[in-house]
């Protein structure tokens, strides 16, 4: 997978993504991440890429041409026309299933806006997907792009040490992850649930599933509506109003 991030702040993006798990995946050649500086494609001698909005109003807009040229410089290096994701609070809310869909692509381009946004005409020309990371407004698209690159990267085979951990985790089957514990067995008077020390794998799996269902019911009942529950689990939930 090759990620291309169009931005006015390339260092911000690369500093964040060159570390930890994504950094290791780059070193292993499992993915590549490049930040393309839109300012390198400025079309005036002052290297400006923003201007006033027609019709008036506060703030500046990013101009169409530098964004277009930056995109073209990426496109000509791709085998297929890449999907171009514009990070915007007006987009569709990012989710795990969207991350799974994007993880199938060979190339992904992220367009990070700044100031009051970007001239609409270039968005119409190049953007294929409008994505928001939540209902709040940030100063630019860099952090959302980093969030998406992180979420998509960890789904690429080989990126996580243990592929099982990408398979069985929060949001799989629309359930939250069960609680987990490591040594010591007792910490400040709090004990690890005995079933986890029993070595009985069937019971451990049963306990984990039950904990996932209870946790989801308590913290994210909206997810539970989409989860596939057994009749027994539905009954437990119906009878545990005071527990949940």
Report strand pairing: 50-52 vs 60-62.
Answer: antiparallel
| Nearer to ligand ADE among residue 134 and residue 193 (C-beta) | 134
CB of 110 to ligand ADE, least distance (A): 10
CB of 137 to ligand ADE, least distance (A): 5
Contact 65, 44 (CB under 8 A): no
Would you tell me which residues interact with ligand ADE (CB under 6 A)? Answer: 87-89, 132-134, 136-138, 141, 144
Contact 20, 49 (CB under 8 A): no
| Nearer to ligand ADE among residue 82 and residue 144 (C-beta) | 144
Q: Which of 107, 33, 39, 35 is nearest to 67 (CA)?
A: 39
| Nearer to ligand ADE among residue 54 and residue 136 (C-beta) | 136
| Nearer to ligand ADE among residue 87 and residue 159 (C-beta) | 87
CB of 62 to ligand ADE, least distance (A): 12
CB of 176 to ligand ADE, least distance (A): 23
């Amino acid at each position: 997978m090759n990620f291309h991030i169009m931005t006015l702040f390339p260092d911000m993006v690369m500093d964040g993504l060159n570390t930890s798990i994504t950094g290791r995946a780059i070193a292993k050649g499992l993915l590549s991440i490049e930040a393309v500086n839109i300012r390198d494609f400025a079309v005036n001698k002052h290297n400006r890429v923003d201007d006033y909005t027609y019709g008036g109003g506060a703030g500046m807009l990013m101009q169409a041409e530098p964004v277009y040229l930056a995109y073209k410089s990426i496109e000509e290096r791709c085998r297929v026309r890449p999907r171009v994701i514009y990070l915007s609070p007006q987009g569709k809310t990012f989710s795990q299933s969207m991350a799974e869909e994007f993880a199938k692509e060979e190339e992904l381009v992220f367009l990070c806006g700044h100031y009051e946004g970007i001239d609409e005409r270039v968005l119409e020309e190049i953007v294929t997907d409008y994505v928001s990371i939540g209902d709040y407004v940030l100063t630019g698209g860099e952090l959302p792009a980093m969030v998406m690159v992180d979420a998509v990267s960890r789904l690429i085979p080989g990126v996580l040490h243990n592929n099982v951990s990408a398979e069985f985790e929060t949001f799989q089957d629309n359930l939250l992850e069960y609680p987990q514990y490591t040594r010591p067995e007792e910490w400040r008077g709090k004990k690890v649930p005995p079933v986890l020390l029993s070595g009985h794998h069937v019971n451990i799996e049963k306990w984990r599933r039950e904990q996932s269902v209870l946790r989801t019911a308590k913290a994210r009942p909206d997810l539970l509506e989409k989860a596939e529950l057994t009749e027994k689990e539905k009954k437990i939930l119906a009878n545990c109003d005071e527990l949940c």
